[in-house]
Homo-oligomer: A and B are copies of this chain.
Amino acid sequence: MEIFLSREMSHGRRILSEDEAMHCVKVLRHREGDIISVIDGEGTMYRCRITSASARAVEAEILSSEADWGAHPYRLRLAVAPTKNTDRYEWFAEKACEIGVDEIIPIIGARSERKIFKTERIRKILTAAAKQSLKGAVPKICEPMSVRDFISGVGAQPEAQDGAAASAETASSEACLNGKGSSRAEEPLKLIAYCFEDESHPRISIKEALERYTGLEVTVMIGPEGDFSPEEAQLALSRGFIPVHLGRSRLRTETAAVTAAEAAYFRWME
């Protein structure tokens, strides 16, 4: 099942962006009158009939629509430190999208191996993964922010690292921190996966933390290989983050992040 992304509408019709139109017309050879499936990236899938097709733009009238298409019953925000090897972060992004995630925030901490992070490629991977796993919503990738800013809930203004297209599509830090789910009555659950090797703080498993929680909005912070700094962990605790562990296994950053996504997936699995 081929899915196209259309973030734009005009006169009640879905408009495919240039790259999507190119793929639709040049590669898949769709023509006027063809029926295609389109997601808006916000959660809805549309069955559409193409009304005009060129390699630069495709317009399609909406025949039917399905909200919350392929949606998961919770909201998950993963704040994950960039990995030394970018492939590993890209892999995490793809897998988290397949399993179920709403927002990914690259957080740069005192011990982060990588301080510079490009969101553009992650955004493409998330779009492809959402289409492939039949989800109407494409998870947001936020501009990187410092661990302190993330914890404080005060995002720095996003920088358009990849030109206009990037800045246009990038969820701003503010948007990430005040995401769709934040209007829920229940307080969001905020978790930080941290070692506390000095054993100064008792930790519960992420599984137990999720089972105790009756709401639907979860944020999990995953640090770099070198973990968060004690100061960062203390700040998180002072702002209501609950320290959790991810079980006995020693997991790489990207595996820990996917494990956090799986923990939520299993918490709400029927």
- Given B249, B250, B251, B266, which contacts A207 in the complex, CB threshold below 8 Å? B266
User: Chain A interface residue count: which class?
Assistant: 20 to 34
- Given B100, B207, B251, B265, which contacts A98 in the complex, CB threshold below 8 Å? B251
Contact B255 A99 (CB under 8 A): yes
Give the 3 A-B CB pairs with smallest separation, nearest first: A262-B262, A247-B269, A133-B250
Query: How many copies of this protein are present in the complex?
Result: 2
A248 within 8 A of B: yes
Q: Which of A105-148 contact B (CB under 8 A)?
A: 132-134
A72 within 8 A of B: yes
Please list the residues of chain A having a beta carbon within 8 angstroms of any beta carbon in chain B: 70, 72, 91, 95, 98-100, 132-134, 205, 207, 247-252, 255, 258-259, 262-263, 265-266, 269-270
Q: Which residues of B contact A99 (CB under 8 A)?
A: 249, 251, 255, 259
Q: Once bound together, how far apart are the Cα atoms of A251 and B100, in whole Å?
A: 10
Contact A269 B207 (CB under 8 A): yes
Q: Assuming A99-B249, A207-B266, what are 4 further A-B pairs, CB within 8 angstroms?
A: A72-B248, A98-B251, A133-B251, A262-B266
Contact B70 A249 (CB under 8 A): yes
Q: Once bound together, how far apart are the Cα atoms of A207 and B270, in whole Å?
A: 8
Instruction: From known contacts A95-B258, A255-B98, A265-B259, infer whether A249 and B205 are also in contact, taking CB-CB under 8 Å.
Output: no
Instruction: From known contacts A95-B258, A98-B255, A259-B99, infer whether A205 and B269 are also in contact, taking CB-CB under 8 Å.
Output: yes
Closest approach, in angstroms, between the C-beta of A123 and any C-beta of chain B? 20
Instruction: From known contacts A205-B270, A259-B262, A266-B263, infer whether A98 and B134 are also in contact, taking CB-CB under 8 Å.
Output: no
Closest approach, in angstroms, between the C-beta of A251 and any C-beta of chain B? 5
Q: Which residue of B lies closest to A263 (CB)?
A: B266
Q: Which residues of B contact A263 (CB under 8 A)?
A: 266
